[in-house]
Amino acid sequence: MTVRAGREFLAIPGPTNMPDDVLRAMHRPALDIYSREMVELTDGLLGDLSTLFATKGHSYIYIANGHGAWEATLSNVLSRGDKVLVLESGRFAINWGNAAAAMGAEVEVLKGDFRRAIRPAEVEERLRQDKNHSIKAVLAVQVDTASGVFNDIEAIGKAIRAAGHPALYMVDTVASLGCMPFEMDGWGIDVAMSGSQKGLMTPPGLGFVAASDRAREVHRHANMRTPYWDWTERDGPEHYRKYAGTAPVHLLFALRQAINMLFEEGLENAFQRHRLLAEAVRRAVATWSEGQVLSLNITEAGERANTVTTVAMNGHDPVALHRYAKEKCGVVLGTGIGELIGKGFRIAHMGHVNAPMILGTLGVIEMGLNALDIPHGKGGTGAAIDWLAESVNA
């Protein structure tokens, strides 16, 4: 017997659930890419991306996923042999650094912990030691989707400035933009990047980069530049060059609709919605943890992301739970990655998510824990409901 029918629900951290209005926005003919309408679409989106990044700097749209946008950030500001400091806090900054190494940079990893956030004091100390300023860029992620950590990007920016170090500060917001506050200019960030398919509720295929004036100055002398990613190629007035070729017209229609929806809701409301739903998930997992099998991967409460929760599983196979949720109930959970391969699972709560989606997902996990006889504290979903009832006033 199964109780799945209808649409399968993706509770994985990307690609995420897309609103029907976003899907519908693509169901129309392509635009003439030389038309005025096309130019206006691009101009509007570039301006709105700068609003989302909270920068007066320049934004760029690439036909790429997050990995492509990483390459865009690196190739535009680095020269071969430049040293890059990667702030480890899970998997993704390491992978970004691996791309930099493959492209010819020298990469140093400031060791982190899979269960904790980056510690700003350690960043400051490392940069103070770099007296001749050999480090040219510092890479950090705001939310690491593997560990479920949230890094205090503002505090790390302050640490870089406190060290008096001129390295460019580069931040990955793939799993946080549009879901949690981000202030590129206010926090002293030089380059930020993101992707379409997570918090921004749009199909995979668009990568976003924003660059400060300082980054664009460094760009002038960078020698890793290549034609497709190059900011200078895209800065001119000619629209065709803004995508280094044909514009991804339908993905842009989708993005336009998604950003409209985000602005209609209001960014502050979207941030608050993510905070409340994330806390509901954490309360459920904390209750289940009483059974000594499940636990929240991130040990410090203040370091847990509002977009994804990583759950460690001790002594039981997460595959059985994953399979139960998908095959019996139609909910797809994220698998454990990084240090939690085969030892955990992830619950995404980013982008187009609401109370029934989150409570439904939690309810299905609790069904699975019961059906599979996995020891757990009773009433996790109830704890999530209690939290939301307290937080969302009548």
Site residues (vs ligand PLP, CB under 6 A): 14, 65-67, 92, 141, 144-145, 172, 174-175, 195
Judged by DSSP in three states, 129 sits in helix
Element (H, E) at 259: helix 249-265
DSSP 85: E
The rounded distance, in Å, linking the Cα atoms of 294 and 315 is 9
Name the minimum Å distance from CB 66 to ligand PLP: 2
Query: In this structure, are residues 114 and 297 in contact, taking their beta carbons and an 8 Å threshold?
Result: yes
The rounded distance, in Å, linking the Cα atoms of 104 and 324 is 45
Name the minimum Å distance from CB 124 to ligand PLP: 23
Query: In this structure, are residues 384 and 281 in contact, taking their beta carbons and an 8 Å threshold?
Result: yes
Query: In this structure, are residues 271 and 368 in contact, taking their beta carbons and an 8 Å threshold?
Result: no
Closer Cβ to ligand PLP, 120 or 199, answer by number: 199
Closer Cβ to ligand PLP, 193 or 284, answer by number: 193
Name the minimum Å distance from CB 145 to ligand PLP: 3
Closer Cβ to ligand PLP, 66 or 157, answer by number: 66
Closer Cβ to ligand PLP, 141 or 359, answer by number: 141
The rounded distance, in Å, linking the Cα atoms of 319 and 316 is 9
Name the minimum Å distance from CB 174 to ligand PLP: 4
Q: Give the length of the chain.
A: 394
Name the minimum Å distance from CB 67 to ligand PLP: 4
Closer Cβ to ligand PLP, 175 or 364, answer by number: 175
Name the minimum Å distance from CB 244 to ligand PLP: 19
The rounded distance, in Å, linking the Cα atoms of 265 and 83 is 42
- Tokens linked to 137: 């860029």
CB-count exposure of residue 234 (10 Å: 0-12, 13-18, 19+): buried
| Closest-approach residue to ligand PLP (CB) | 66
Closer Cβ to ligand PLP, 192 or 312, answer by number: 192
Name the minimum Å distance from CB 62 to ligand PLP: 11
